[in-house]
Amino acid sequence: MDFLTIIQVLDSTIRLSTPLLLACLAGLYSERAGIFDIGLEGKMLMAAFFSAAVAAVSGSVLLGLLAGIASSLVLAGLHGLASITFRGNQLISGVAINFLAAGMTVLVAQDWFKQGGRTPSLFGGARFEPIDWPLAETLSGIPVLGPIYAELLSGHSVLVYLAFLAVPGTWWLLYRTRFGLRLRAVGENPAAVDTAGVSVVGLRYAAVMICGVLCGIAGAYLATALQAGFVKDMTAGRGFIALAALIFAKWRPLHAMWACLLFGLLQAIALRFQNIDLGGVVIPVQVMDALPYILTVVILAGFVGKAIPPRAGGEPYVKER
């Protein structure tokens, strides 16, 4: 494998890990506040459809992004209503959101566009265009550093840079602000937060809404940047992979980024190398495609017992009279 091939694989890794990272950070906010959310997949799927649909109709990718975020916020609000206000089972609420999104997106897409549950292909202003860094073309000829700057760092859409900037932003918000301290405390001991006169319900709703915004951006990225339109079930389990990465990272932002990059690398390798020959033994493409999901199962089997979630996670808070 030569250097340029490595750069291309790493470039694909960054692109493929972006929706995972956004969804992982979304789950981080929600679960740190004590609300388990396995509906990340559904929110991403709904956002992917509405962002692609609105972008296709309006020709504006920004309107598509806003529509994707809005649709994800609606589902986040439903999850908050079920699990916070009505104190329902958070896992069942998340499963319901996933089923709702899987069925509704195809149904509305078929009724709207008559293309078998797809949206029209996006082009021009309906897609996020790559951003070329200054002098990228000029510096590309410099050995080693040139390809890293021109191919690996430059040429991504704005949502890619936003996702990776969200990692230090999330760390700062959670560990260096009063809001972050209260958010983490709500996930560990909501009664103590309530005693201090801070609204547990308000903080949990805030976390769920932040989760909705990030899932909306992740879904919009899938449909308007990574691909050029919506197709049925295009999230392909990314929401569940993001949850596995979150557990692997033990609910810490920086570790979550590296975990998502690992999953992205496996996906990039599967796309780049369809059949790998290891000493005469050919690994078929199906095995390569399954690698990220196999790693998900391994992580969940090996780390769930060792990774300690927020103590009040999954438990509805009942205010003492």
Asked if residues 150 and 137 have their Cβ atoms less than 8 Å apart, the reply is yes
b/e burial code for range 279-290 (CB count within 10 A of at least 16 → b): eeeeeeeeebee
Element spanning 285, H or E: helix 285-303
Q: What is the pLDDT of residues 189-239, one digit of tens each?
A: 999 999 999 999 999 999 999 999 999 999 999 999 999 999 999 999 999
Residue-wise pLDDT for 155-188, tens only, equals 999 999 999 999 999 999 999 999 999 999 999 9
From CA 47, how far away is CA 242, in angstroms rounded?
A: 16
Q: What does the mean pLDDT of the chain come to? A: 91
For 3-43, the pLDDT digits (tens) are 888 999 999 999 999 999 999 999 999 999 999 999 999 99
Taking CA 200 as the corner, what is the angle to CA 75 and CA 30, rounded to the nearest 5 degrees?
40
Per-residue pLDDT reduced to its tens digit, 109-151: 999 998 888 999 999 899 999 999 988 888 888 888 888 998 8
54-76 confidence digits (pLDDT tens): 999 999 999 999 999 999 999 99
Give me Rg for the CA atoms of the chain: 20
The mean pLDDT value for 297-320 works out to 78
Residue 12 token pair: 């694909």
What pTM does this model have? 0.94
Three-class secondary structure of residue 283 per DSSP: strand
Torsion angle of the four alpha carbons 149, 153, 158, 161, in this order, in degrees rounded to the nearest 10: -130
Cα–Cα distance between 281 and 289 in angstroms, integer?
A: 17
Helix then strand count (H, E) for the chain reads 13, 2
Which residue, among 161, 177, 160, 159, has the nearest Cα to 29 in the 3D structure?
177
| Residue-range domains of the chain with CATH | 3-130+137-300 (1.10.3470)
